[in-house]
Amino acid sequence: MGVSEGAIKLYFELFDRGLFKNIESVVEMGSQELHLTKDAFEGLVAAAGITNYREEDFPDLPNWPEQPRSSSKPFYEMLGAKKYSSIDLNGEHGSIPLDLNQPLTDASLWGKYDLVADHGTNEHVFNVVEAYRTMHRLCKPGGLMVHMQDVYGGNGYYNFDTAFFEGMASANGYRILFSSFVLNLMRKYLNVPEIRKQKAGTLDSRQRDQFLIPLSQELIEVINWSKDHAELGICYVFQKQSDDDFKIAYQGSFQSEDQGNLGYQLQFLPNPPSRTYIPLLVADLERELGAIRGGVVARHLLGRVKKRLKSRLRLR
């Protein structure tokens, strides 16, 4: 499991947007490593204008894809985080040895972290909803949750799509700060002799060229999946808005019925640019309808009729 080239690009974009100003503590789902070459990493650092990169902080980075690999901890520290943790039953890289299939009952960890990140761990947790509940509980109100998962070509129990993350956001009132597909195109390491000796076609002998692209079905349909050796991931960045416990999402009208409202309306917000789902409460709708008088409705309908007549006359 690792922080890939696409994830590095994402974090540098969030950093450039000023969203790391208040990130002092980070926890990752799974013991994570940096999964890219030293040259690729340093190229992204230079392109992002990061000035405090120190080569000595990443001593294992040149080993990729061999072992040992560089922990992701110094990467987050480079972006300003003062505290770093990870949760993994294997205990690697000093991770907290907890079983993500089980509820997080240690209240001392609730609301402790400014950033909670999942770079492909939750797909390997059979009780996947519990893993996302744990992320929610670990995150402070106002903190960020980064999700990067597979849509096509994954190796875990689950694949994910937009409906899963949009539903989770609406159920829990998250602000969606970023969303995209992650397109993975494979290429061989042809210029590294020691890697060229590895068995051709293995995962570690290939480098992912990763691109963050819009959530557009039309773009996805252009890809020749058999020819381009492509894999597709998905990325969402949520901002937690309250200290309420995690709520299960329901599709269709079931969620609104469970939470006592008429549904959800998408609302776009500034500072930072984001979107969220606003519940439509019965009391609010009754109040709005009561404020509308018959004359107002009549003038509104008359205005729409006039506009339609004018457009038809222009067409003639």
Give every residue of the chain whose pLDDT is below 70, as ranges.
Answer: 1, 187-208, 227-229, 281-316
d(CA 31, CA 235): 19
CA 33 to chain centre: 18
Predicted pLDDT at 189: 42
SS3 state at 86: strand
Predicted pLDDT at 65: 87
CATH number of 2-279: 3.40.50.150
CA-wise closest residue to 117 among 31, 232, 205: 31
Predicted pLDDT at 192: 45
SS3 state at 208: strand
Predicted pLDDT at 81: 97
CA-wise closest residue to 37 among 13, 12, 85, 2: 2
Predicted pLDDT at 264: 82
Predicted pLDDT at 92: 83
Domain boundaries along the sequence of the chain: 2-279, 282-315
The pTM score is: 0.83
The answer to whether 79 and 20 have CB atoms below 8 angstroms apart is: yes
